[in-house]
Every structure is written in structure tokens, then in C-alpha cells.
Amino acid sequence: MGLLDTLSQVIAGGSVSDQHFDQMAQNAPPGALGSAIAGAFRSDQTPAIGDMVSQMFQNSNGQQQAGMLNQILATLGPAAAAALAGGALGRILQPGATQVTPDQASQLSPDQVRDVVNHANDAHPGIADQLGNFYAQHSGLVKTLGGAALLVAMTKMKDHLAQR
């Protein structure tokens, strides 16, 4: 049974197990998983992107936390990103720095991360794609979002594969 068939069966069943999601993540074509995650970030059937990323941030290690924040910095540029959400990101960056370290990332609360991501998404809607690609490399964190978000991501993956 191919990935498209598996996705169709899981979606028809209306619930997603971690095993189903792992199978999709392992067998997805390059870029497709990131696109599916970005689609879940944009969906009106899931919480706001900032809420979902904040939840994954809480479940991340320091390297992953810094990596996610560095995606935002790379997309928006340090000056624009530092000004987001009342300057929360700017307060942890060293002057002239273009990267967040794991120690610096750990200084942000999940609420601050939520605000940074929501503001980044408002400033640059393409941030969902960048974060989707980042979390495709850390798909274990995506599973912490729960069944509804995973079902939306799997539906987006099925739609992507069906268009090919």
C-alpha cells in the first residue's frame, strides 16, 4: 500500500496515531512534510501558528528552540525580528548578533514565543513555510500537537500527493 492509500485510510478513519504520523514523515517526498506542516499552521481547523509553535517550543531542547528562532531571524532579518512582540527576541540577542544560542532561547517563555511567532507571521506570512520546513526535520515535536493538528497535516499531505 502506498503513502497516498495509507493517508486516505487514516483520514477516512478520522484519527491519527503517532505510528501513522511517523510512517507519513518517513515516506513523504522531500519538502512535502514541511508543506503539510505549514498547511496545518495556516488551517482554520487548528490553533493559531503561535500557539502551536509555542507548544512545540516547550517540548524542544535548547538546540531546537534556538533553531526555530533562528529560522525567524533568517527570514525577517535580525532588526525586524528583534522588534517583534515588544522586543522579546531583541532583549535576548547580543548587539550585532544574527543567531540565537540555546542559552538565549531558554530565556524566552512559551507566551513570548507565541507572541513572536504570531507577529512574525503577520509581518511575513511565508514564515509558516519556513517553520514547517524546520519542524519537518524535527517531526517528533509535531506529534506533541495532538490528533487534530496531525490529521490536518496528513490531509494537507494527501492533497499535495494527489495533485502530483
Residue type (1 letter), 13: G
Give the DSSP per-residue string, 72-131: HHHHH-HHHHHHGGGGHHHHHSPTT--S--HHHHTTS-HHHHHHHHHHHHHH-TTHHHHH
Residue whose C-alpha is closest to residue 41's, from 137, 162, 134, 161: 134
Mean pLDDT on 122-133: 93
Instruction: Give the domain ranges of the chain.
Output: 3-162
| 19-76 per-position pLDDT tens digit | 878 888 888 877 889 999 999 999 999 999 999 999 999 999 999 999 999 999 888 8
| 100-125 per-position pLDDT tens digit | 999 999 999 999 999 999 989 998 98
Least confident of 9-18, 123-132, 134-143: 9-18
Sign of CA dihedral 30, 33, 35, 36: positive
